Amino acid sequence: MRRIISVLLENEPGALSRVVGLFSQRNYNIETLTVAPTEDETLSRLTVTTTGSDRVIEQITKQLNKLIEVVKLVDLTEGSHIERELMLIKLKASGSQRAEIKRTVDIFRGQIVDVTSTVYTVQLAGDSDKLDAFIQAVGTTGVLEVVRSGVSGIARGEKVLSI
């Protein structure tokens, strides 16, 4: 099953490599990984999406917790949560394609953020499925370049991940 694990990490050099190293060393998957400092500059927040059986996921969270620099973590998929990923996508856009793409972008509530005579650059945010669906909708032949941020997530309601 796919899981989203959110980690508060000491904002120190080497801390990230320990997390990434743990995943490869123990043969765990990383599907996406995002990391940036939080409002408290001594902490980074890292979000990793991974897949595995319940036992593997349990080991992942336990092993992550053992890293000295991991302060706290939560498996967001255990409760209701919001997940978002940002995509920038460059599409071939000339002639009649332009209106068609514009319409699709509107349907997906994206924005065209850069335009040339032959190319649109589109920005789109949403859960990963939505981004996949957009690429399907515009058809892969017109896609020149895709960059995705990886998933960020946060629990719904009162629940917060903080120290």
Partner 1 sequence: MELLSGADMLIRSLQDEGIEYIYGYPGGAALHIYDALFRQDKVKHILVRHEQAAVHMADGYARASGKPGTVLVTSGPGATNTITGIATAFMDSIPMVVLCGQVASTLIGEDAFQETDMIGVSRPVVKHNISVRHPSEIPEVIRKAYYIAATGRPGPVVVDIPKDMTTPNERYEYEYPKKVKLRSYNPAIRGHAGQIRKAAEMLLAAKRPIIYAGGGVVLGKASEQLTDLAHMLGHPVTNTLMGIGSFPASDKQSLGWLGMHGSYESNMAMHHSDLILAVGARFDDRVTNATEKFCPGARIIHIDIDPASISKTVEADVPIVGPVDSVLKELIALVKESKAKPDNDALKAWWKQIDEWRAFHGMRYEKSDTYIKPQEVIEALHRLTNGDAYVTTDVGQHQMFTAQYYKFNKPNRWINSGGLGTMGFGLPAAMGVKLSYPDDDVICVTGEGSIQMNIQELSTCKQYNLPVKVVNLNNQALGMVKQWQDMNYESRHSQSYMESLPDFIKLAEAYGHVGIRIDRKEDLEPKLKEAFAMKDKLVFIDIYVDPHEHVYPMQVARGSMKDMWLSKTERV
Which residues contact partner 1 (rule: CB under 8 A)?
10, 13-14, 17-18, 21, 25, 55, 58-59, 62-63, 65-66, 68-72, 163
CB of 23 vs partner 1, minimal distance in Å: 12
Best CA proximity match to 91, nearest among 78, 107, 102: 102
Which residue's CB is nearer to partner 1, number 68 or number 147? 68
CB of 63 vs partner 1, minimal distance in Å: 5
Which residue's CB is nearer to partner 1, number 23 or number 149? 23
CB of 12 vs partner 1, minimal distance in Å: 10
How far, CA to CA in Å, does 79 sit from each of 38, 41, 57, 76, 154? 22, 27, 15, 6, 10
Residue with tokens 């939505």: 130
CB of 15 vs partner 1, minimal distance in Å: 10
Which residue's CB is nearer to partner 1, number 51 or number 65? 65
How far, CA to CA in Å, does 129 sit from each of 5, 24, 134? 18, 26, 9
Q: What distance lies between CA 17 and its chain's CA centroid?
A: 18
Task: Count CB atoms within 10 A of the CB of residue 126.
Answer: 18
Which residue's CB is nearer to partner 1, number 16 or number 155? 16
Which residue's CB is nearer to partner 1, number 21 or number 37? 21
Q: What is the CA radius of gyration of the chain?
A: 18
CB of 47 vs partner 1, minimal distance in Å: 18
Pairwise CA distance, residues 126 & 58, whole Å: 27
